[in-house]
Structure 1
Amino acid sequence: MEGKNYVNGAFVDGTSGDRFESRNPANFNEVLGTFPLSSEQDVNNAVSAAKAAYYGWRRLSRIKRGEYLDEFTQLLKKDREELSRLVTKECGKGIIEGRADVTEGIHMCQYVFGTVRMPHGDVIDSEIPEKDAFLRRKPKGVVAAITPWNFPFAIPLWLICPSVVEGNTVVLKPSRETACTANKIAEYAHKAGFPPGVINVVQGGCGDFLVKHPDTHVVLFVGSNDVGSEIKQIVAGFYDKMCACEMGGKNALIVLDDANLDVAVNAAIISAFKTSGQRCTSASRLIIHEKVLAEFERRFVETTKRMRIGDPLDENVFMGPVINQAATEKITRYNDLAKKEGAKMLLDGGRLTGNEYKKGYFMSPFVYRMQNNPKSRVLREEVFGPHVAIIPVKDIDEAIEVHNDTDYGLTCAVITEDFRNAKRIRDDCEYGLGYVNLPTIGAEVHLPFGGVKKSGTGLPSASTLIDVVTHRTAWTVNHAREIKMAQGLTVKF
C-alpha cells in the first residue's frame, strides 16, 4: 500500500516528503505499506479542513448525518473478511481476533446510526407554567482522535462515529504500527461520500501538533498512561479544550474458593493471553484463593503449555506475535525483573526461536507466583505482553485489598458461584469494567468503556462518548405576554 494522508476529501502526500513503513510483526521482512511522516503543516491543513467543514456539517439534520454513517457501514460489511485479514497482518493478533476487531467497529457504526432517530434531549418543567425549558446538545467542534495499534479498526470507529453524528468534524492520528488499517478507514469514508473535511487522517508522528493545535476542541486518546498524562497537562493549558483519555491498566482476575475451576482457568487464559497480552484490559494479575491455588495453578500452567503460538492467519493459532522489537525488549526486562523480585517461576517464557519464529516477534508466556508486595514493580506496572503473576490470598477481603493495590483501575473479573461474593467485588473493587464468571476482556459498544485512577479521566469511550463530544445547553421559552421569573424574582424598577 502506498498510503497517503486524507485531508479535505482528498488523498494527499505529506509536505515533508518523508515516509515510514508498516511491517507485518509475524514476518518483519514483509512491508505492508509506506506512509507520509506528517509534519506540523500537514496537521494544520487537516485541522483547517475540519474547521471549515464544521459549520456546514453541524447544520445538517442529525438524521442526515446518520445516513452518511449508514452508507459507510454498508461498505465495511461487504469487505469484512478483507479488513479482518489486514488487521491481523498489521497488528499480529489472531484472525479470529481480527474479525472481532472489525465486527466491533461495524457494531459501533450500527449502534450510533441507530440512535439518530431516537429522542435527543429533554423537555423539562419550569417553575413558571408559562415557560417551556429544554435540554439540548450541541457539538464541540474539531475532534482530534489519537488511537493505538492493538485495535486499529474498532477504536478509531469508537471515536469517529459518535463525534461525526453529533455534528463534530474529526482529525484521526492512528498509530504508525497500523497505518494500513487507518488508510482503509479513510478510503471507505471517501466512498461513503462524507463531505470534504468531515473526516481527515494524518499519518506518522504528529500527535503532539494535533493536541496543541488551537483549533482542536476535544482530544480523544487511547494508549499509555505516560502519553495520556502528557496530553492532559497540555489540554489543561487551554480554556476551550477538553480531553478524554483511556490509559491502560494493571488488571486482575479474582478466583474465589467456591469458583468453578473450568470457568476460572479458561477465563484466566483468555484474560492473560489474547492479543498476546497486549490489551489495556488484559489481566496480568491472577488473584487466587489459597484453597484452590494448587489445582488452579496446575491446570492453568498445563493449559498455557498447550496454547498454539504462530502465524496469526492460521485459524488454529491462539497467540500471535507481539507488535515489534521494542515490545519484546520491554517484556523481557519485566520477565527478568520478576526473577530479581523473588518470583517463583512456573513458566519461564521469552523470545521464541527456530524456523517458525525467526522472522517475527514471537514470545512464549511467562508465568510466576508471588506474594503481593506494594514495593514490587512487576505487580504494579503495566507490562503489555504475555507476562502473568499468580498472587495467593486467604479470603475475599485480602482479594479486594490486593486488587485495589495498584495505581490503575480499568477491568476486574471475579469467578465465583456466590452472588453475595460477586456483589462484594462489584461494590468494593476499583474498576471501570467489571465481569462475573467471564474474562477481563470483551467490550460491547453500547456499554461505557473507561477506567478510574491512572486508567482514565472518568470520561469513557464507546457509547458514552456523546458526553465528551457535545455540551448540554439549556433553552427556555416564555409564552406569556409579560416576564415572569423563577425564584421569586420580579421585574419592578
Structure 2
Amino acid sequence: MSYPANAASVAASTAQSWLAEPGDTDVSLIINPATEQTIATYRNASAEEVNAAVVRAYAARTSWGRTPPSERAELLLKIADAVEQEAEEFAVMESKNTGRPITQSRDEMPWAWDVIRFCAGAARLSHGPAAGEYANDSTSWMRREPLGVVGLITPWNYPLLMAAWKLAPALAAGNTVVIKPAELTPLTTIKLVDLMSRFLPDGVVNLVLGDGRAGQAIVEHPQVRKIALTGDVSTGRAVAAAAAATLKRTSLELGGKAPVLVFADSPVAQTARDLAEFGFSATGQDCTAACRIIVEEAAFDEFVDAYVAEVEKIRVGNPDDLGTTMGPLISERQMKRVEGFVDRARAEGASIRTGGERLARDGWFYAPTVVTDVGQDSEIVQHEVFGPVVTIQRARNDDEMLEWANGVDYGLSASVWTTNLARAMRFTRELEFGTVWVNQQIFTAAEMPFGGFKNSGYGKELSGIGLDEYSQFKHVMVKAELAP
C-alpha cells in the first residue's frame, strides 16, 4: 500500500501486508472523494487469506477467553489512551478517506475512545439472577462466556467509530475477532488494528481487506460463531441467509429513514437551525440523519422558509478547510444514486426548494437539497437516499404525523420536536424506532443501547446489552448430595 506525503501514516507492520504490487489484478483503490485522486491501493484478500485470519483467531480464542476480565479491561484502557493520544492522525486520515470536514472528524474522535473505555469497565461487571437454590435442592448460577471467533463487517460512512463500536465489546467479552472494513474506507481501521496489536496477544485481532467476497468468506466460515454487520438492508438479508447455514448468530445494524416530527409549539427558528445540521452532517450519509421531516400544518410555511434559509448557509467545500461544514459524497456511485432519487422526484412533481444538482467542481459534491410536495408513498420518502437530501411533508394533526412517521419499512431512529411533555411521552411510546430523541438528533451514549426495529435490523450495540450480544450464557446447576 502506498500513501502520499500529505496523508496520515499507517504503521507498516499492518499496512505492508496488503501492499499492491506490480502485476496484482485483484485490487481495490482508496480514493479521496474531494479530489477523485487515488491515495492508496491494496490487494483484496483471497479466500485462503480469510481462512488464515480465522485460523489465527481460532487458535487464540481459548487463551484470550480465559484472560481475567480485569486484565482485558486494563488492555482496553491502554488502547483507549493510545487512540486519544493519536487522535489527530486518526482525524486527518478519516477526513481524507471519507471526505468529512476535518472539524467534524475531530469532533467525532472522543466517541471512539469513550466506547472503548466503557466496554473496559463493562467487562468487569456480571449480572443476572443471584446464585441460589431455585429447584431440586440444587444451587444454580450463571456463567457469561465468550462466543469464540466473531466476524465484524463495518461500513464506509463512519469507519473508525463503527470499528470501535464492534471491536470494544467483542474483545471485552473475551472473543477473538476478524474485522473487515468497507473497501472504500479502510485506512483508520488499519491504523486501529495496528494500534491494538501493540497491546493484545497475537491472533486476538485480525484484519482482512477486500470487497464483498471477503465478507462472504467470513460469514460462511464454520469457525466464526457470530457476525456483526453495519450495512444496507440488502447486504443484511444476504448475511442473515448465509449465516443460517452454520447457525451462527448475527447482529445487523442496517438502513434508516428517520422521521423528524416538528410541532407548531416548538421554537421554529431554533428547530430549523438544529435540523439543518442534523440533516446534512456527514453529507447526509448517516442512517440516523434527520432526512424525513414531517411538520404540523400550522407551522409548515414558517418552518420551510426558516429551514431553507439555514440550509443555504451550509458551506460546501474542501474537507481541509476549517470553514467547510459539508464535504463530498463518498463515491461516484453514491453521487449517481443521489442524483437519481432527486431527478425522479422532480419528474413526479416534487418541488426542489434549494439545491438539486451536482456542483461544478472536482470531487463528488452535491448541493444540499430540500424537497417538498412529496407524497407519503413516493420513493424519496419511503427509501433511504443516503445523501444530502431532506424531504419535508405537511401533516394535519398528531395522528397523521404518527401514521406517516411509522409508515416506512425502517425502524432505526426518530425525533420529536415539541415543548408539550404529554405529546412527547405519547410519541416516544408509539414511534416504532429503536432510538427516539426529543428536541435533538444523532447523539447517543455508550451506556445506552443502539439498534433498530423492522428492516433496520436487529441486535444492539453499546451498553451492557451490546456486550451481551457477544456473549453466551450458561446455567450451572449443582446438587451437592447424591440421593441414596
Query: Is TM more than 0.5 here?
Result: yes
Q: Is the 8 A contact 1:101 1:153 kept in 2?
A: no
Of 263-272 and 81-90, more deviation after overlay is shown by: 263-272
Describe how 1:303-382 pairs up with structure 2 within 5 A.
303-353=310-360, 358-374=361-377, 376-382=378-384
Q: 2:421 matched to which residue of 1? A: 419
Q: Separation in 2 of the partners of 1:447 and 1:397?
A: 29
Q: 1:144 matched to which residue of 2? A: 151
Q: 2:17 matched to which residue of 1? A: 12
Residue from 407, 420, 438 that aligns with 2:409: 407
Change (3 A) 1:122 1:394: same
Describe how 1:27-426 pairs up with structure 2 within 5 A.
27-29=35-37, 31-128=38-135, 131-192=138-199, 194-205=200-211, 206-239=214-247, 241-353=248-360, 358-374=361-377, 376-426=378-428
Q: 1:22 matched to which residue of 2? A: 30
Which letter maps to 1:213?
H
Q: Separation in 1 of the partners of 2:482 and 2:219?
A: 48
Q: Separation in 1 of the partners of 2:46 and 2:277?
A: 40
TM-score (norm 1): 0.91
Q: Is the 8 A contact 1:145 1:220 kept in 2?
A: yes
Q: 1:471 matched to which residue of 2? A: 472
Q: Is the 8 A contact 2:262 2:296 kept in 1?
A: yes
- CA deviation profile, 1:123-145 (whole Å, cap 9, x unmatched): 24323595322122111111000
Q: Separation in 2 of the partners of 1:350 and 1:445?
A: 38
Unaligned runs of 5+ in 1: 484-490
Q: Is the 8 A contact 1:120 1:136 kept in 2?
A: no
Q: Separation in 1 of the partners of 2:16 and 2:174?
A: 23
Q: CA deviation at 1:465?
A: 2.1
Unaligned runs of 5+ in 2: 4-8
Root mean square deviation, CA, Å = 2.2
- CA deviation profile, 1:337-364 (whole Å, cap 9, x unmatched): 11122212211422101xxxx2211110
Q: Separation in 2 of the partners of 1:370 and 1:408?
A: 22
Which letter maps to 1:370?
D
SS at match of 2:93: helix
Q: CA deviation at 1:366?
A: 1.7
Which letter maps to 2:205?
I
SS at match of 1:69: helix
Paired positions, count: 472
Q: Separation in 1 of the partners of 2:44 and 2:307?
A: 44
Q: Is the 8 A contact 2:240 2:250 kept in 1?
A: yes
Q: Is the 8 A contact 1:22 1:177 kept in 2?
A: yes
Of 122-131 and 194-203, more deviation after overlay is shown by: 122-131
Q: Is the 8 A contact 2:14 2:190 kept in 1?
A: no
Change (3 A) 1:28 1:48: same
Q: 1:444 matched to which residue of 2? A: 445
Which letter maps to 1:47?
V
Q: CA deviation at 1:13?
A: 4.0
Q: Separation in 2 of the partners of 1:363 and 1:10?
A: 32
Q: CA deviation at 1:473?
A: 1.0
- CA deviation profile, 1:239-283 (whole Å, cap 9, x unmatched): 3x1110011111111101211113321232122100010001112
Q: 2:6 matched to which residue of 1? A: none
Q: Separation in 2 of the partners of 1:68 and 1:212?
A: 30
Change (3 A) 1:129 1:39: closer
Change (3 A) 1:233 1:107: same
- CA deviation profile, 1:41-80 (whole Å, cap 9, x unmatched): 1101100100111011111111112222122112111111
Q: Separation in 2 of the partners of 1:257 and 1:121?
A: 45
Which letter maps to 1:247?
L
Q: CA deviation at 1:320?
A: 0.6
Q: Separation in 2 of the partners of 1:131 and 1:89?
A: 60
